[in-house]
């Protein structure tokens, strides 16, 4: 999966994540393998500066969901960067890709 993710500030959002191998075929994440989703302000930020972090545990499927809460999306409006890393094997699965927090018109209704 390589695509820009967008979410409105302070909103819940669920993303469908699909993994593919180098040939473009579905990649079934092996059972027990952990994949980490991380969002940072800059690709050069340290791992201590991760703003959003989620872990997916493989179950021999290629599709998963990432559910973000309004607390997690309560970031300043702007462009951030995300990636997915297989933390079981230490392999980065995606290049840094845009994660955008968008402004809303009504703030408290």
Q: Whole-prediction pTM value?
A: 0.88
In a domain, 108, yes or no: no
The pLDDT of residue 16 = 92
**Token digits of residue 27:** 């990649």
Domain count, the chain: 1
Q: Which residue has the higher pLDDT, 4 or 10?
A: 10
Q: Tell me the CATH number at 80.
A: 2.60.40.2840
Domain that residue 40 falls in: 5-102
Assess whether pLDDT exceeds 60 at residue 1: no
The percent of residues above 90 in pLDDT, for the chain, comes to 72
């Amino acid at each position: 999966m390589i695509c820009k993710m967008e979410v409105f500030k302070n909103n819940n959002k669920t993303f469908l994540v699909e993994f593919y191998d180098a040939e473009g075929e579905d990649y079934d994440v092996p059972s027990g393998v952990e994949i980490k989703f991380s969002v940072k302000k800059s690709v050069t930020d340290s791992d201590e500066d991760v703003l959003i972090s989620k872990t997916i545990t493989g179950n021999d499927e290629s599709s998963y969901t990432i559910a973000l809460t309004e607390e997690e999306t309560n970031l300043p409006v702007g462009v951030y960067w995300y990636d997915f890393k297989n933390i079981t094997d230490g392999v980065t699965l995606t290049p840094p890709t845009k994660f955008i927090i968008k402004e809303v018109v009504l703030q408290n209704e």
